[in-house]
Chain A
């Protein structure tokens, strides 16, 4: 029997070997890793440009070993449009939170999808504004207490949670729209597969691709990482069903 070890698992090349600033149990780190694995899978690290947004993921460039441009709150899809139109053969993705994409940046995401920009959008839905301290987001669940919905979100007063993956799937320009979760090993593996498909949509020049990732914010949910994970299965998935809501024709 050979004693030479063959690695079966290694860190993605597109991620730097550094410690992240995310809170314990936060899944931004997991999502970063899945995106980096997709870039490695397609061997596109050298021709990828990331578009960072504001929110807890603002330090994208500290963790991804790729070129990055930072954008104002919510405007990442517009910045990415400028990048992709300037360099159409590059792989361009935005990475945005729910406050970023579904509140201040609603207009930018809808119109970028509608133009069918060949971009990949990674949308991290943790039902709250993480970085600014746990305020209500458009995705906050009915009844959920946040620092700006201290009595619980009341849909009659605040509106109901917005389902972005379904909403964007309606648009002709969207070629791929899906929702995944990263609460269990099975879901993480599935999420990785879906994120790869979203990048494939871009690499095969088939148009706009969107992946919503249900993710934890233990800090602002006031939960332990384990409880936060359980909340995804118990509360988030019933409101935000997992699945692929749109897939365009496969590459010829």
Chain B
């Protein structure tokens, strides 16, 4: 029988990565994600893996690039300012079609900001935060269990599509403790990576991992190839959670920590007899646009809640086109800016046409 553990979100993501067969971790300390490198520094040597505390986030992501180019399951993690530094490497990994996991336990910004929970890195994560036009697979856990489960999924999707994956969480999900039932995957079978550089066997063609395409039309073809893969991902791998959509007159939407608060507000609304549902994107790229399109055939009002001044709401609007009205409620991150369930419930009352 599977054990039931009581762990922190940051530990859960590290445990999930190890369960996925990740044996290489490269990182640099930053609050509120330092539990991840600390966990890896303790556990990886026992498993015959490698932990390196790099001299910078830039070095860490490039070490990840190197290990991934050899076909290994490897990861790095950081928090917002550190993720900005990793963007160069992520663009190179995307251009070189390299898998790998990057965890962003977001903190508030811009600049040094603070260590409070934030969702202001949404654009950076889902629109291709580095140069050149690319996408990452972006998954947004809202519980400790999901920190674990989505770490496993991120590695699988990343390997399958050869697109780097990001787990976009925040300091609350990273720091909170709740029950975790780890999935005991006895043996992880990695997909064949015949493209990996491992030394060229005699008589065989060399393998090159690169993002440089200078020939006439070569780079355009490469970018169309990457684009087709993003489309495939959108068609096959969008993930979301839906609650009470059947009879909803208002759909709440939120991801990560805000979705947890939204769930409490949803319970309050249902207890008050209001027909409110919830559509929670789990994959932020690919965005579950079909789920929104489907839901707005019957429900014409959506309320998007975020811990920023409006980022995911743009993708919601694009998904529903003109089929529904999309409202937004958000707060820029900072100390004390996490909304309470009562605060969101007041917004629900407003859009359901009830006085608070």
- Identify A90's interface contact among B60, B68, B199, CB under 8 A: B199
A82 with B206: CB separation less than 8 A: no
- Once bound together, how far apart are the Cα atoms of A116 and B355, in whole Å? 68
Shortest beta-carbon distance, B204 to chain A, in Å? 9
With contacts A46-B201, A85-B52, A86-B72 taken as known, whether A71 is within 8 angstroms of B62 at the C-beta atoms is yes
Q: Give every chain A residue within 8 A of B26 (Cβ-Cβ).
A: 82
- Once bound together, how far apart are the Cα atoms of A52 and B89, in whole Å? 15
Shortest beta-carbon distance, B76 to chain A, in Å? 10
A61 with B210: CB separation less than 8 A: yes
Q: Give every chain A residue within 8 A of B88 (Cβ-Cβ).
A: 72, 75
Q: Which residues in chain B, 164-216, are within 8 Å of chain A measured between CB atoms?
A: 197-202, 206-212
B63 with A78: CB separation less than 8 A: yes
Is A162 on the interface with B (CB-CB < 8 A)?
no
Residue of B nearest to A44 (CB): B199
Is B34 on the interface with A (CB-CB < 8 A)?
no
Q: Which residues in chain A, 2-60, are within 8 Å of chain B measured between CB atoms?
A: 45-49, 51-52, 58
Q: Give every chain B residue within 8 A of A51 (Cβ-Cβ).
A: 66
A69 with B197: CB separation less than 8 A: yes
- Once bound together, how far apart are the Cα atoms of A66 and B197, in whole Å? 9
Q: Give every chain B residue within 8 A of A69 (Cβ-Cβ).
A: 65-66, 69, 96, 197, 208-210
- Binary CB contact string for chain B from 53 to 86 against chain A (1 if under 8 A, 0 otherwise): 0111011101111111111101000000000000
Shortest beta-carbon distance, B69 to chain A, in Å? 4
With contacts A61-B206, A68-B208, A107-B56 taken as known, whether A82 is within 8 angstroms of B62 at the C-beta atoms is yes
Is A166 on the interface with B (CB-CB < 8 A)?
no
Shortest beta-carbon distance, A51 to chain B, in Å? 7
A82 with B74: CB separation less than 8 A: yes
Q: Give every chain A residue within 8 A of B72 (Cβ-Cβ).
A: 86
Shortest beta-carbon distance, B116 to chain A, in Å? 30
- Identify B55's interface contact among A47, A48, A64, A111, CB under 8 A: A111
Q: Give every chain A residue within 8 A of B208 (Cβ-Cβ).
A: 61, 67-70
Residue of A nearest to B66 (CB): A82
Is B92 on the interface with A (CB-CB < 8 A)?
yes
Q: Which residues in chain B, 286-323, are within 8 Å of chain A measured between CB atoms?
A: none
- Once bound together, how far apart are the Cα atoms of A70 and B56, in whole Å? 20
- Identify B199's interface contact among A46, A52, A115, CB under 8 A: A46
Shortest beta-carbon distance, A29 to chain B, in Å? 19
Shortest beta-carbon distance, A64 to chain B, in Å? 8
B69 with A82: CB separation less than 8 A: yes
Shortest beta-carbon distance, A118 to chain B, in Å? 13
Is A188 on the interface with B (CB-CB < 8 A)?
no
20 A-B pairs whose Cβ atoms sit less than 8 Å apart in the complex = A45-B202, A46-B201, A49-B197, A64-B206, A67-B208, A68-B206, A75-B58, A75-B59, A78-B65, A81-B59, A82-B24, A82-B26, A82-B64, A85-B52, A85-B67, A87-B198, A87-B199, A107-B59, A111-B54, A111-B55
Beyond A71-B66, A79-B62, A82-B68, 6 additional pairs, beta carbon < 8 A: A67-B206, A69-B210, A70-B208, A72-B62, A79-B66, A108-B62
- Residues in chain A within 8 A of chain B (CB atoms): 45-49, 51-52, 58, 61, 64-72, 75, 78-87, 90, 107-108, 110-111, 115
